[in-house]
A and B are shown apart, each in its own frame.
Chain A
Amino acid sequence: MGKYILKRIGYMILTLFIIATATFFLMKLMPGSPYANQAKMTTEQIKIMDQQYGLNKPIVQQYWIYMIGLLHGDFGTSFQFNNQPVSYLIASRIGPSMQIGLQAIILGTGLGILLGAIAAIRKNTWVDTVATFFAIIGRSIPNFVFAVILQFFLAFKLGLFPIALWDGFSSSILPTIALAMAPLATTARFMRTEMVDVLNSDYIELARAKGNSPWQTVAKHALRNSLIPVVTIIGPMAVDLMVGSMVVENIFSIPGIGEQFVKSITTNDYPTIMGLTILYSTMLVVVILIVDILYGLIDPRIRLSGSEAQN
């Protein structure tokens, strides 16, 4: 297992290296000016600015400097936003994003597991129909539509929550719900399929034959066996969350990295875009790696054949 994890981390670093390199050179190809008010600047001023940002050096050298910087957690300096270091921008904005993201994933997977399990246990009853209906709605309706609907009814019409303001927990509720819909639907659907399979399996019948009540059977045998595969979809869901956070943060004016990313794009702030791209990719590969390791830890079949996985 240890060797397997090391190998995976090796691949992860390689992937990130390729992404960083690709992003860097793509940025160099970008049209458009890096300076917000370039139109008003003289050639002389631009030269000074270029020097200040190191843009006058040969591209390979710029690349080298950038990569070395990355290793130290230095993503360069933002061209916009008062010339703050990108790392500082990220640090100051990651809090709200993380809060909403984590709340959404906990709410989404938690409710999804519950909904999926109930739907499977009460398969082909009205409970199942209702759960399936919610799963379809959650999967189909785009998160930004959800966000807007929530904002309209709960915040604007009923005034239960702030419309677009970042101020503590109550302002995080609506964005969390909007973000949680997709993971909720995905989890519920996946959980239902897994649970239906498990409930049809022989070992569940054997558990019943041992004298377990239906509830005990679900709690002791069915739940764990259907939960293990659910771990595998956390990776893809994390991606959806990152994408979703950009638009949801925008709608609710949350000072997070998603909103920052959209802002950077519209203002051609290359260092910030690069930094955030690398950050998003890193988070993604790390989440996937953690999920894989977690899966190996909780599934005894993989845990003990870990040595085979190395090959």
Chain B
Amino acid sequence: MERILDVQHLKVNFATFAGQVQAIRDVSFHLNKGETLAIVGESGSGKSVTVRSIMGLLANNAHIDDGIINFKNQDILKMTPHEIENLRGNDISMIFQDPMTSLDPTMPIGKQVAEPLLIHGKATKKAALKRAEEVLELVGITNAKNRLKDYPHQFSGGQRQRIVIAMAIVNDPEILIADEPTTALDVTIQAQIIDLMKELQHKIDTSIIFITHDLGVVAGIADRVAVMYAGKIVEFGTVDEIFYDPRHPYTWGLLNSMPTLKTDAERLYAIPGTPPNLLNPPIGDAFAPRNPYAMAVDYEAMPPFFKVTATHYAATWLLHPDAPKVTPPTAIQQRKAEYRALLAEQQDQHNTTIDEKIGDDLDD
């Protein structure tokens, strides 16, 4: 498969009054053409910083210490500001978190949607507005033709997010980065936006990086998942592997804290403790203090990635041959059992693809 984006050993520091905050500590991942990669993690894990590095939109006090970000075999980090500007909104575009604040309140939406076309010289003013209208229809703004001259405050939150999405796809980007596109929305609207994203996956030919802290959202939309914790990727694999055969205790915790229909306990599970201070990141596994399965080695050395399958890796010492066998939480074991049953079922029914099956299950 063609790798459209390849991030290697990315390290990003933030200069603050207290010192250097190591927001991204050696992150590597890639994005295949046409796939959707979900990056999952709690607030402050470095998801947004990672994608902002790709966009070249880091805050002024951020500094990329090391790494390569290859987009179609060209290192973005070595590009001039002008070259990155040519990329932004053209080859790589981004959907922001809060639609209420991400539209210019004093510019008609038609103009805002058409703007990327004009910046990159893709169309005349008239053609750009025509295209803006088409894209707005595509993302579900009804009667788009008559609404081009309307201002953002005349739209609801869900509609505004549709407009933001329209802006992002108007130039047919190679990569679409969605930075928690549903977090700021009401639950019912969230579902609509996710449905729209899924629909767009089929309608337009673009690779998507989907950032979220909500694993529930990931299941239906992603092909592969990378789990981030404290500025590092701790586990990555296909969506099935992460959901049904997770290996990192942090992923276990995340999955456990996700409510499902089967959640019967009086209270939802929460991972105890708080993420480490990245001013002085721990030398070992950053998750160790919150990890009930922690071993002495977790405090001594950073775990490397251990291979689970060709597509599934996890950075936990538990996968080391010398590590004692641990039993994951019951809920995780149940997931594994479900997965095995699913695999078996899949072998029976050749015409059903496993992705859809699992997707349907989780949508319930």
Which A residues fall within an 8 A CB radius of B? 201-203, 205-213, 216, 220-221, 224-225, 228, 299-301, 304
Since A208-B88, A209-B96 are in contact, a sample of 7 more A-B pairs with Cβ atoms closer than 8 Å, ordered by chain A residue number, is A205-B57, A206-B167, A210-B167, A212-B89, A299-B106, A300-B151, A301-B105
Contact A211–B151 (Cβ < 8 Å): no
B98 and A210: CB pair below 8 A?
no
A-B complex: 5 closest residue pairs judged by Cβ atoms: A210-B89, A211-B89, A202-B102, A202-B101, A211-B88
- Distance in angstroms between the alpha carbons of A208 and B86 in the assembled complex: 11
B320 within 8 A of A: no
B83-127 CB mask vs A (1 if < 8 Å, else 0) is 001111110011011100111111100000001100110000000
Q: Nearest Cβ in chain A — how far from B228, in angstroms?
A: 21
Contact A203 B57 (CB under 8 A): no
The verdict on A211 contacting B87 (CB below 8 Å), with A206-B167, A304-B151 known, is yes
Task: Decide: A203 and B85 in contact? CB cutoff 8 A.
Answer: no
**Number of B residues, CB within 8 Å of A:** 31
Contact yes or no, A211 B85, CB < 8 A: yes
Can you give 20 A-B contacts (C-beta < 8 A)?
A202-B98, A202-B101, A206-B102, A206-B103, A206-B104, A208-B57, A209-B88, A210-B89, A211-B87, A211-B89, A212-B85, A212-B89, A213-B81, A220-B107, A221-B107, A224-B106, A299-B106, A300-B106, A301-B151, A304-B154
Complex Cα gap A299–B89 (Å): 27
B262 within 8 A of A: no
Across the interface, A210 reaches (CB within 8 A) one of B101, B115, B153, namely B115
Question: Is B38 an interface position by the 8 A CB rule?
Answer: no
Kindly report which residue of chain A lies nearest to residue B102, judged by CB atoms: A202
Cα-based distance from A301 to B104 in the complex (angstroms): 11
Query: Is B37 an interface residue when CB atoms closer than 8 A count as contact?
Result: no
B96, B105, B154: the one contacting A225 at CB < 8 Å is B105
Q: Measured between alpha carbons, how far is A225 from B103 in the docked complex, in Å?
A: 12
Task: Output the least CB separation between B202 and chain A (Å).
Answer: 24
Cα A19 to Cα B96 in complex, Å, equals 53
B106 and A225 contact, CB distance less than 8 A: yes
Number of A-B contacts defined by CB within 8 Å:
77
Whole-angstrom CA separation of A216 from B115 in the bound complex: 11
Contact, CB under 8 Å: B90 / A211: yes
Q: What is B's interface to A at a CB cutoff of 8 Å? A: 55, 57, 81-82, 85-90, 93-94, 96-98, 101-107, 115-116, 119-120, 151, 153-154, 164, 167
> Which of B57, B89, B104, B153: most chain A CB closer than 10 A?
B104
Shortest B214–chain A CB gap in Å is 20
Docked CA distance A207–B57 (Å): 11
- Residues from chain B with a CB closer than 8 A to the CB of A221 are 104, 107
- Given A212, A213, A216, A300, which contacts B105 in the complex, CB threshold below 8 Å? A300
Interface majority SS on A: helix, strand, loop or mixed?
helix
A208 to B102, CA, bound (A): 11
CA–CA, A201 and B154, complex, Å: 19
User: Which single member of A205, A213, A216, A299 contacts B96 (CB below 8 Å)?
Assistant: A205
- Closest CB in chain B relative to A129 CB, distance in Å: 17
Contact between A228 and B116 (Cβ–Cβ < 8 Å)? no
Q: Are A209 and B82 in contact (CB under 8 A)?
A: no
Say yes or no: A216 contacts B106, CB within 8 Å: no
Query: In the complex, which residues of chain A have a beta carbon less than 8 angstroms from the beta carbon of B57?
Result: 205, 208-209
Asked if B88 and A225 make an inter-chain contact with CB atoms under 8 angstroms apart, the answer reads no
| Residues in B neighbouring A209, C-beta threshold 8 A | 55, 57, 88-89, 93-94, 96
Interface pair B101/A201, CB less than 8 Å apart: yes
Alpha-carbon distance A207/B87, docked complex (angstroms): 13
Q: Determine the chain A residues whose CB is within 8 A of the CB of B98 once the complex forms.
A: 202
A211, B86: Cβ atoms under 8 Å? yes
Q: Please indicate the chain A residues that have their CB under 8 angstroms from the CB of B101 in the complex.
A: 201-203
A292-B321 Cα distance, complex, nearest whole Å:
74
- Kindly identify which residue among A207, A208, A213, A216 contacts B104, using a CB–CB cutoff of 8 Å: A207
Which chain B residue lies CB-closest to A214? B81
Q: Write out the residue numbers on chain A whose beta carbons fall within 8 Å of the beta carbon of B87.
A: 211
Q: In whole angstroms, how far apart are the Cα atoms of A212 and B93 in the complex?
A: 12
CB closest chain-B residue, reference A221: B104
B208 shortest CB reach to chain A, Å: 15
Alpha-carbon gap, A202 to B105, bound state (A): 11
**How far is it, in angstroms, between the C-alpha of A212 and the C-alpha of B56 when the chains are bound?**
12
- Chain B positions within 8 Å of A299 at CB level: 106
Cα distance A209–B52 in the bound complex, in angstroms: 9
Which residues of B have CB within 8 Å of A224? 106-107
**Of the residues B85, B94, B115, B151, contact of A213 by C-beta under 8 Å:** B85
Minimum C-beta distance from A296 to chain B (A): 13
Which residues of chain B have C-beta atoms less than 8 A from A206's C-beta? 94, 96, 102-104, 164, 167
CA distance A116 to B164 in the complex (A): 30
A216 to B151 CA separation, bound complex (whole angstroms): 21
Q: Which residue of B lies closest to A210 (CB)?
A: B89
- Bound Cα distance from A221 to B107, whole angstroms: 8
Min CB–CB distance A260 → chain B (angstroms): 42
Q: Is B119's CB under 8 angstroms from A211's CB?
A: yes
Contacts of B153 in A (CB 8 A): 300-301, 304
Residues from chain A with Cβ under 8 Å of B90 in the complex: 211
Query: Contacts A202-B102, A206-B167, A300-B106; is A212 near B96 (CB within 8 Å)?
Result: no
Residue of A nearest to B107 (CB): A221
Q: What residues of chain B lie closer than 8 Å to A225, measured between beta carbons?
A: 104-106
Chain A residues near B119 (CB, 8 Å)?
210-212, 216
Q: A209-B89, A304-B154 are in contact. Are A203 and B102 (CB under 8 A)?
A: yes
Residues of B close to A210: CB separation below 8 A: 88-89, 93, 115-116, 119, 167
The complex places the Cα of A207 from the Cα of B96 at a distance, in Å, of 11
Query: Smallest Cβ distance from A109 to chain B, in angstroms?
Result: 19
Residues in chain B near residue A205, CB distance under 8 A: 57, 96, 102
